[in-house]
Amino acid sequence: MSYHTEKLYDTDSELFAFDATVLSCEAHDKGGYAVVLDRTAFFPESGGQYADRGTQNDVAVIDVRIKDDCITHLTEQPLAVGSTVHGVLDAELRLAKMQCHTGEHIISGIAHKHYGYENVGFHLGNGEMTMDLDGELTPEQIASLEREANEVVWQNVIVRAEYPDAETLKNLNYRSKLDLSDGVRIVTVEGVDACACCAPHVKRTGEIGVIKIVDAIRYKGGMRLWVLCGRWALEDYNTKHNNILAITRKHSVKPWQVVEIADKIGDDLMATKAALSAARRELADAKIAAVTPDEKGNLLFFEDEMDGNIQRGMADGGADHCTGICGVFSATDSGYRYVCVSRGIALREIGKNMNAKLNGRGGGTDAIIQGTLGATREQIEAFFAQI
């Protein structure tokens, strides 16, 4: 049996509580109960917008779907067929969505007016909204679009939803033009936009508070915009502002100096790294100068984990101070990372042998070999003693 549910949100988008009669209630195959009421203020998932949340007689409504004209609420507990239930929406969530959704109409309307673009994609989830336009925008055009959209908010213009008769509809210029002649719901932002849409919107644009385009990328030949309005825009502002304060307070500068301080931290880090590298090189040179090669003419250094460039530099420098091989071994979790350099001894074959005997990987030329070894210091020293 299919029902026709009266859509209370259609005529009053700010009706957040209502009474209704339960027409049917069945266990849902994916858990919960599918409840149909004679009327509802719950907006179902449709057109890229998530469904409303709330309660019916204190039973949680976890999803709302529409098929044909029948709206089904998915509830956590069953509701008695024939009984009257009191439905209460999560008004905060609904208002946040209406702020975003109406903001989307305004941006789309302006983009359509100035550039002839169509809105070809829309997603309104929890705390996030994306909208896709079928043409590209420069950063300057995006900034100007945002400014103009906010001016519409400040003008506090009326937002209307109506079902025009067939004749009116035929002559009406609106976005998302449908081939239908009746039953088309037109949402008008006075003086800015008219669009076919079934969702609830705020009643005046002032309720949106603010429209902020937070990100934009080129997408499928057009643009994808991330837009936040009202409550979610404020939450986003708070998060970003608190992040900025956390950084700038730590460095005793003003919030607007965040980029300056981030650049300075980056520069300081680079300088510190350069100084550290220089000091490590000096240390490596000092170590090389302080030791004498073993009886084979080899110089072997076993180091805590060290930078690869320093390691190569040390092996290279050490090779000038010995007649054999200079090997520098940097400790890893499972053994050592090695670099061996020699001015007189061909290393390629030695490297292959070493890898085979000491559970190693790597290779190189006769002048330099590098890789890893799964062996202890004693095993490595023993290998070099027998070359």
Residue 197 found at the interface with Zn ion (CB under 5 A): yes
Count residues near Zn ion (CB under 5 A): 2
CB-nearer residue toward Zn ion: 105 or 231: 105
Among 36, 89, 133, 199, binds Zn ion (CB under 5 A): 199
Q: Binding marks (x or -) toward Zn ion, 66..105, rule CB under 5 A?
A: ----------------------------------------
Q: Give me the helix-helix angle, 258-290 and 230-250, nearest 10°.
A: 40
What is the four-CA torsion angle of 132, 135, 141, 144, rounded to 10 degrees? -50
CB of 72 to Zn ion, least distance (A): 22
In the chain the first and final C-alpha atoms are separated, in Å, by 89
CB of 217 to Zn ion, least distance (A): 23
User: Do 134 and 120 form a contact (C-beta atoms < 8 A)?
Assistant: yes
- Between 197 and 315, name the residue whose CB sits nearer to Zn ion: 197
Task: Kindly state the smallest distance separating residue 101's Cβ from Zn ion, in Å.
Answer: 5
Closest CA to 345 of 317, 312, 319: 319
Return the number of the residue (192 or 197) whose C-beta is nearest Zn ion: 197
Q: Residue 340, interface with Zn ion (CB under 5 A)?
A: no
**Beta pairing class for 159-162 and 360-364:** unpaired
DSSP letter for each residue of 340-375: EEESSS--HHHHHHHHHHTTEEEEE-SSEEEEEE-S
Alpha helices in 89-220 (DSSP H): 91-115, 139-154, 166-171
Which string of x and - marks every residue 284-313 that binds Zn ion (by CB under 5 A)?
------------------------------
Minimum CB–partner distance for residue 122 and Zn ion (Å): 9
How far apart, in whole angstroms, are the C-alpha atoms of residue 88 and residue 85? 10
Q: Specify the residue, 32 or 200, whose C-beta has the smaller distance to Zn ion.
A: 200
Binding piece for Zn ion, criterion CB under 5 A, among 20-28, 132-140, 198-206, 308-316:
198-206
β-strands 39-40, 6-7 pairing:
parallel
Binding part of the chain for Zn ion, among 152-160, 173-181, 190-198, 244-252 by CB under 5 A, reads 190-198
What are 96's two structure tokens? 């946040």
User: Which is closer to Zn ion, CB of 173 or CB of 386?
Assistant: 173
Which window, 30-38, 194-202, 209-217, 332-340, contacts Zn ion (CB under 5 A)?
A: 194-202
Nearer to Zn ion, 152 or 197 (CB): 197
Helix (H, G, I), strand (E, B) or coil at 254: coil
Angle between the 91-115 and 139-154 helix axes, to the nearest 10 degrees?
120
Determine if 131 is a binding residue for Zn ion (CB under 5 A).
no
State the amino acid at position 386 in one-letter form.
Q
Nearer to Zn ion, 44 or 360 (CB): 44
Residue of this chain nearest to Zn ion (CB atom): 197
Task: Note the residues at the interface with Zn ion (CB under 5 A).
Answer: 197, 199
